[in-house]
A and B are shown apart, each in its own frame.
Chain A
Amino acid sequence: MKTNRFWSWLFLLLGVAYFVFPLIGTFEFSLKMRRGAYSFDAYRTVLTDPQFQATFGYSVTMALATIVMGVVLVVPTAYWVRLKLPSWRPVIEFITLLPLVIPAIVVVFGYIRLYNTSSWLPLTGSAMGTNILLMFGYTTLALPYMYRAVDTGLRAIDVGTLTEAAQSLGAGWITIMTRVILPNVLVAVLSGAFLTFAIVIGEFTMAALLNRPAFGPYLQLIGANRAYEPAALAVIAFGITWLCMGLIQLVSRFSKLPNAGR
């Protein structure tokens, strides 16, 4: 038992070292822009770069749009499957897992071929069209996580009874969705939303191949041309991911309080 614990500590410390070194290394590197002294110059340069502001703003907008799209698409579908078509669950689940099987680069390759200017739906012909296409692409990327989160949330509530109760009080479908189902799975939706945000904000492949001015390609561009700024950007990106995960934890902890009372 004692030796057991020794090995456990050893592997844990080795693992932690592996994870901590890059974080320390990156942070340390990001402070070295000024010769001979640590400074936050790299961060200042990055944050004041208009390109940074523009691309970051673009990606935040895209992330928010993707979240809305994901919620509108996933919540009613997951609800409907639970309520009316439980036999379709395996099919829907399989589809939502497809994005884990098909690499993003393949999907976006398909977009470029399918929706080019000479096709029946020339989405890539205009900037707005391409933005929409990119948002759809991001929605597919987020699909596995969003669907799982919402479906788990729906499992916890009795969808059928809630719906019948609302119907007996005269509520229509829109009211049921927005006033009954959505508030009850809000925590799950928020978890999915934060995860979506974390995925979209630094996404590179789709944005780069569709030629949109997103944060991911900007990162890559800076990485190819600068020395210290990429490290600062990596620290910022890691901070955003932490923030999203922290918010998920926070939200799910909040949800446990009222649940415990039930």
Chain B
Amino acid sequence: MRYVIRRLMAVVPVLLGLTVIVFSILAFLPGDPATAILGPYATPENVERLNRQLGLDKPPAQQYLIWLGNILQGDFGRSYSLNRPVLDEVLERFSATLILAGAALLLCTLWGILIGVRCAVGQYGWSDRLLTLTAVVGISVPSFWLGLLAILAFSVNLRWLPASGMFAVYGGGGAADLARHLILPALTLSVVATGVIARLTRSAMLEVLRQDFICAARARGVGERRVIYRHAFKAALVTIIPVIGVQAGFVLGGAVYVETVFQWPGVGRMLVQAISTRDIQLVQGGVVVVAASYVLLNLLADLAQHALDPKIKT
């Protein structure tokens, strides 16, 4: 319990540091938001007036504190390009990203663990070699390119699945429609993480299977399936869980590419659009939410690991 409290406390400075970084990157970015809003023909007086309205004439430290204070009260500002509160837009987009990333994470955890265990059990057999090779290829392939290939194969040529979007434009809606749209992007997004989890599961399992207590369990007449899943996998899980936590973060980050390729209306695509329109409030809000969820996922993974093995205190 003390560990849990300590770990929770450690999240606070991380999140604070995160807001500093997000704020300073965008504050020191060349380019003037007022000019971007008013367009190239704005008069200097108008630019100055808008800067004052937006608070941009104040020193950066003060700007940061005002911004942080607003965030803590749930006010992320207003997106000028969409003309609506940033938080509403981010939450709406983030739920779409969560559906995509969650599906991808589920896929990569399931397949990664199954493949990794299968490889470790038949170490150096043909299935191990084939699957390990596939995992390496999967890790190395850029997901945006894989997404394009998937669209070409399954949408354009075979016409099995929709190429883009979250719902069909005409008469869309409902879980079935969502699922059909989800298959390709979720699979694309999960490929890299599947490879990583599979490889780490394999090595963690091999590490455990080499130990004497596994041999001892076999000598005691414990069935092979039980040895692998109840004795070895349970011990290996302690090393696998944090990897899944880290991968959850990468899946969230990788969603930016996949969302762009598949026109998925998630927070990643929102950020790409916001950056290109210099909608700084929207970028800040989006990045803070994504980064905070990354931190929280790692926190969850650490707590899960601690619950499995109380000896671990990082």
Tell whether A and B belong to one assembly.
no
Q: Which residues does A use to contact B, with CB under 8 Å?
A: none
